[in-house]
Structure 1
């Protein structure tokens, strides 16, 4: 696992490259390396997981003409290494990424078709006319941001947005529809970020950039899905599949732990992992005091049942105003889910306890149909009722009509008819092939999962130099899940039916019988008068600040505060939280909306700002 960066067909001074690297050092503290030519660079900050003594990046071919950097893990590296050795290639270590130059030399751009893993890869091929190849994994587990200056024919890329903005040629100007896109889906979906000049490569993409300044982006076809198993074998077959994938993801040359919220998904991963990793350490996070939806007793129950070493991490709610700016900085753009703070604090505790790799249960809800909104939409469609707009409203911070009331007239006019979500995605959702549940699943996996979940997990774990591995996001598991008939995912008011069936007998009955609840923090209770988070939000969303930016109507925001003070609710608290996160982001990066005369501050100033340190969570029980 690493952070990568580089440029092609441009001249970048060494000091600027050093700045880019330094801004990602938290994600790769073990070794820094950079190959540099007159008009290109390829750099890496390495977090050593496989063969810590070897695996120095950039990796190079035997001829020295192919340079590669990798962010991620290649799980089938041993098999590929054996195949390449048989054809004459030689390797001096067993690091997973060391195989990539030889694999590229043998298969060209199709080298990624042979990979099982999570990755963002950059290949610089200098054998003939120089070319740069960028590739992402099938779900976008390892994000890669880029800026293509079409006029100058130059490309810049990095694993994190703040580092990309350190290239002087990349502007921090805000994308005008960004606020609406953010509030419509809690973080922007698709390739566009909230920065006008910054895009993110989609999942399953191979992009080729040549000396002529042409960028060709090709979406790789999904592997043919495996046939759905016979009904009688489904629980055993799925259980065996998950066991194989969890076992494969346990390979590491550094200490490994598991995250256990106490829900089905993470509990199942943890329990399966103990077969090959006895003495596994598990981590759960909760907040000091007594709060609604506290899950620690379920997490402890799973730990006792599986025989793991349990770590209870506690975070004081008074720390939220200190932590939130750090969370927003590492994300690079707003994400409205309050789980971001929990995730950041939890991974910091994992690293502090001495662990470099953590397994999680992310992705199961998308693949197996675990969300209430998916059930509601599927049931509404079955009755012939409306499902499309109610489903989209469930994804949003606020439904479309209520969002519009927050905006100033100038911002509403600047938005025009720009869609809040990528049009191609919503068209496929509304009228694509398959059942309504098929289309929703494809939308969740293809758009929401990469943008809303996977980038968050990647950035907030790597902020503390922790690599997260995701068994439910493995290609074989995804193929299995999407091939299940609707009734095996959602039926009769139940969700994730196939996964629950596979877990029976492995998990305590209390875990299987409990109501699903989000792994997050109780902001409806914390975002009330008298708590530090309330005062912090009032200060950041003050009338004079909002008037300067010109996007949000101060009166409408004040009414949200008044409603929350009089009648605290999750919906109003989430709206205030989302606006608070957006304002922190806007101030950190100097992103000035184009609807106001305020000029955006320079990138050099904003990326040079030091985010104040915050006290971390406590591991109160081991």
Structure 2
């Protein structure tokens, strides 16, 4: 895991590369190197995971044509290396980096679709004079792109545009070639619809993301963007190929998941597990435990006993400690269980660093729990596995169930009625929540925004697929849910120089799931059916047959009550009141009503206002930013 940065279309500027690299040193504290070859500059920060002695970057091919700066891990590198050696290619290191480089030299951009892993990379072709940027199938690893004023390259060629790219956004801000400015459309959609990371736009006007599965080619002729994979289209158009659903299907899925976990244990540094107590992370935990019991060759980096890391909140309603303990208790090979217990006081102390680490606003305080877990884990391990992606893949969210019921109703009313009855407890909780909101709501999020700001974006909307479960899952994997969660994961792990790995996003596993019938995903009121069945003999029923879902989050409602002066200070601050976005008086009034139990809005709405304000102070205001001065209140 590493950080990459660089430019295309500028003259030699090693100082620029060093400034950019320094801003993401936390992504790779083990080594730092640059390469300048006008009109291209590459910078690399290395977190050494595989072949720690070799694998330094930027890496140049043996013939000198290609230069690679790469962030990520390609887990099937050993298999690809064997194939390349069969094509008469030789290797000087044991790193996956060299496999990535040689794969591109052998197959060109077609190599990217062969990679089972996570990656964001830049490859400079000295012969063709092209720079290729690419991001993995699901966008697990970040890559940002920004057009800047062009300058004449040192080799005398002309480029219509110049570009900066980097793993994180901070290197672009530090370049001196881009003036930070907010993207108002993104801010509005975040405040109004609770969405972000759902496309190329970021919260910074002029800075874009390379999309999942996308390849960008920069040359003197300009920029070309295209998908290197058909994965998303394949999943959208896929049809179930399995005949019905039975124990054999669950067993085959279990083996696929175990294989995906085993691949992601390949490491030359210690590996741990992020355990929330939910089904997904618990499934990974017991899969590793089973590999340890079988003395599988892939577990060397785990050590004799698996280490798990969890956030627990004793005394709060959403405390998951009993489920964490149950998952640990289900392991037969012994577990070192580490628990962190964040408080609202801790959050207030960390909030500035948390906002800076995330670089863009987040949907709730929830990702702070993961931030604290990674901070704790960094004292023991360098790689962490977790269950990200399972909810999007296996319908872990209630709205996906609603889509499934609607689709089933259009095809088979009798089956839909049976499924509706079986799901009545889950749907009842959803209906109760929505009814309460409708009855008590006097304000909505737009009421807390300046009218002129809302009017400027009145044509904005946000819709999700409602026609079929399959379409909804694809949307959530690539647009609606997962991209934001992967950003949280990347920033929280890399803030503490940890590599996060996500077995549920193994492309082979994902393709396998989409060959299954909808009954394997939702049946009899149970979502994630195939995963539940696959873990029935490994996990206690309290986890494998659990109906309510919480996961890694914080007791946000309670924390807002405990730290109400912090929120009041933000809403009353001159900067908040002077923004073109917020109606500060309305926000403060609505917050006071919420504190009194009136329930006009949920706490997430207030967090979004606060997060935008703190983000603006950190990244846009610069020296004008107001410090946080609130004292921490006792719970």
TM class by smaller structure? 0.7 to 0.9
Aligned residues: 578
After superposition, give the CA deviation of every residue in 1:104-154 in whole Å (9 maximum; x if it has no partner). Answer: 1111121212211111111010023x1000111110000101113488511
Partner of 2:290, secondary structure, is coil
Is contact 1:209–1:215 with CA below 8 Å preserved after alignment?
A: yes
Aligned position for 2:199: 190
Cα distance between partner residues in 2 of 1:189 and 1:577: 20
Note the residue ranges of structure 1 that are not aligned, 5 or more in a row: 592-600, 616-622
Aligned position for 1:404: 446
C-alpha displacement of 1:170? 2.2
C-alpha displacement of 1:526? 1.3
C-alpha displacement of 1:89? 2.4
Answer yes or no: is 1:480 the counterpart of 2:512.
Answer: yes
Aligned position for 2:256: 241
Aligned position for 2:166: 158
C-alpha displacement of 1:86? 2.7
Cα distance between partner residues in 2 of 1:198 and 1:338: 25
Partner residue of 1:518 out of 551, 569, 576: 551
Answer yes or no: is 1:212 the counterpart of 2:212.
Answer: no
C-alpha displacement of 1:570? 11
After superposition, give the CA deviation of every residue in 1:151-184 in whole Å (9 maximum; x if it has no partner). Answer: 8511111010111222222231111212222121
Partner of 2:445, secondary structure, is helix
Cα distance between partner residues in 2 of 1:257 and 1:470: 12
Cα distance between partner residues in 2 of 1:460 and 1:568: 34
After superposition, give the CA deviation of every residue in 1:195-225 in whole Å (9 maximum; x if it has no partner). Answer: 1111001111111111232333335211856
Q: 1:318 to 1:3 in 2, by over 3 A?
A: same
Partner of 1:527, secondary structure, is helix
Cα distance between partner residues in 2 of 1:206 and 1:457: 22
Is contact 1:75–1:249 with CA below 8 Å preserved after alignment?
A: yes
Partner of 1:276, secondary structure, is helix
Partner residue of 2:572 out of 525, 537, 542: 542
Q: 1:228 to 1:534 in 2, by over 3 A?
A: farther
C-alpha displacement of 1:568? 7.3
Is contact 2:242–2:515 with CA below 8 Å preserved after alignment?
A: no
Partner of 2:267, secondary structure, is coil
Aligned position for 2:352: 325
Partner residue of 2:503 out of 445, 462, 471: 471
Cα distance between partner residues in 2 of 1:267 and 1:302: 6
Aligned position for 1:144: 143
Q: 1:540 to 1:15 in 2, by over 3 A?
A: farther
Cα distance between partner residues in 2 of 1:36 and 1:400: 59
Q: 1:483 to 1:325 in 2, by over 3 A?
A: farther
Is contact 2:186–2:196 with CA below 8 Å preserved after alignment?
A: no
Answer yes or no: is 1:281 the counterpart of 2:307.
Answer: yes
Cα distance between partner residues in 1 of 2:611 and 2:408: 38
Aligned position for 1:343: 370
Answer yes or no: is 1:66 the counterpart of 2:91.
Answer: no
Cα distance between partner residues in 1 of 2:143 and 2:211: 9
Answer yes or no: is 1:271 the counterpart of 2:286.
Answer: yes
C-alpha displacement of 1:513? 3.0
Is contact 2:113–2:228 with CA below 8 Å preserved after alignment?
A: no
Aligned position for 1:618: none
Give the RMSD, CA atoms, in angstroms: 2.9
Cα distance between partner residues in 1 of 2:327 and 2:598: 33
Aligned position for 2:581: 551
After alignment, is 213-222 or 109-118 more displaced?
A: 213-222
Q: 1:400 to 1:35 in 2, by over 3 A?
A: farther
After superposition, give the CA deviation of every residue in 1:251-282 in whole Å (9 maximum; x if it has no partner). Answer: 11000011111111000101001233451111
Is contact 1:177–1:420 with CA below 8 Å preserved after alignment?
A: no
Aligned position for 1:174: 182
Note the residue ranges of structure 2 that are not aligned, 5 or more in a row: 151-159, 293-303, 411-415, 417-426
Partner residue of 2:523 out of 491, 511, 519: 491
Partner residue of 1:565 out of 562, 582, 595: 595
Cα distance between partner residues in 2 of 1:365 and 1:279: 28
C-alpha displacement of 1:416? 4.2
Q: 1:611 to 1:557 in 2, by over 3 A?
A: closer
Partner residue of 2:606 out of 573, 576, 589: 576
